[in-house]
Amino acid sequence: MFENRAEARIDLSRLTENIELLKKKSKTKLLAVVKADGYGHGLVQIAKTAETAGADWLGVALLEEAITLRKNGIKIPILAWLVPPGSDFKSAVELDIDLAVADIKAFNEISKLSNKPRIHIEVDTGMSRGGFLEEWEVFLKSDFSPVNIVGIFSHFARADEPEEKQNIDQLLRFKKMVDQLEAVGIKPQYKHLSNSAATLMNPDATFDFVRAGIAMYGLSPDVKTLGDSNKLSLKPVMQLRAKLHLVKNVPAGSPVGYGATQTTQRATKLGVVAMGYADGIPRTAQTAGVFVNGCKAPIIGRVSMDQFVVDLGPDSSANSGDWVIVFGDGSRGEYTADDWGSASSSINYEIVTRIGPRVPRIYEPHVY
């Protein structure tokens, strides 16, 4: 039996606490967004925990994600919203999966199925991404009798910037499109607009349920505008750790890594961490690193496919085979997913979702 060289340790009790916090704050039903392998935390296990924790709905991007959840015993409603024409709509209906409809072509395909497919109409209120826009007036003249219109929804573009006027514009546009739909006799049971940021910051956008994604995993929707997890009372669910493959002494002036982009400024100890960009460590990261023996050790040189190098410092007591924390919740001084996002000119969402499949997810209570 071999020991893992790297692990994403997932604290499901923290996931439960975050869900309870978000439900309490929103005072309404909650759709737990588990797309993209549960934001990198593991699709099925996260979904089961969310269901147990009181989530009323689950949301996924892809229909295959929803099918996987049904086949793994998930009972609560599931909405799949990235389902273009040609998708396996028949399986969706058979498995009682709700489908988002964003254009007339997809609606016409779904309308041909039996058993009144459950659909949520997606409308474009100003993000210019998914949803009805120019087709809307034509769509309102459709024959809706073959389907069960369960919901209508849209998505904020700038909810993580609460003071932006676009949020008000989108809210007003959404209400107008709801009114237009109701004017032709269709009154969906569920209207939903809020993502994580709106759930935390905009009670006017709550409607019939909120869609909690990044906040459910204990991370801030935007550290710069909303503050970090701690400020938002969220608890990061994932801790990423890896083994030191090698610890070695090198003299001052030693070039490190491909391209020799950095050189040691003193005699020091370097640690080779057994993860790389094939595992989701950003190759562009410049200022992050790992936490070992109570100290931060910054990256030095370029991240490679399977490994990266950190400067442990000349007095480090670290040894080959030791575990190091790549990111955690920051409570002990370690780097966070926010730090790694900033270091790679990206965001915490990308850091957790890009952790590769060869890094096992280990579900443990009290990781931190």
- Indicate which residue of 25, 35, 235, 269 is catalytic: 35
Residue 242 CA to residue 274 CA, distance in Å, equals 6
Sign of CA dihedral 194, 196, 199, 204: negative
Residue 310 CA to residue 219 CA, distance in Å, equals 25
Instruction: Give the rounded distance of the alpha carbon of 352 from its chain centre.
Output: 7
- Indicate which residue of 112, 187, 248, 258 is catalytic: 258
Residue 263 CA to residue 172 CA, distance in Å, equals 56
Residue 331 CA to residue 243 CA, distance in Å, equals 21
Residue 173 CA to residue 123 CA, distance in Å, equals 9
To the query of whether residue 258 is one of the catalytic residues in this protein, the response is yes
Residue 359 CA to residue 9 CA, distance in Å, equals 10
Tokens describing residue 14: 């923290």
SS3 state at 111: helix
**Residue 183 gets which letter from DSSP?**
H
DSSP-assigned states of every residue in 107-167: HHHHHTSSS--EEEEEB-SSSSSSSBSTTHHHHTTS--TTSEEEEEE---SSTTSTT-HHH
Among candidate residues 293, 247, 294, the one with its CA nearest the CA of residue 274: 247
Q: Are strands 238-250 and 323-327 parallel, antiparallel or unpaired?
A: antiparallel
Helix axes 63-71, 43-53, angle to 10 degrees: 70
Please list, residue by residue across 120-136, b when 16 or more beta carbons sit within 10 angstroms of its beta carbon and e when fewer do: bbbbbbbeeebbbeeeb
Percent helix, strand, coil in the chain, to 5, is 30, 25, 45
AA identity, residue 63: L
To the query of whether residue 105 is one of the catalytic residues in this protein, the response is no
Residues assigned a catalytic role: 35, 258
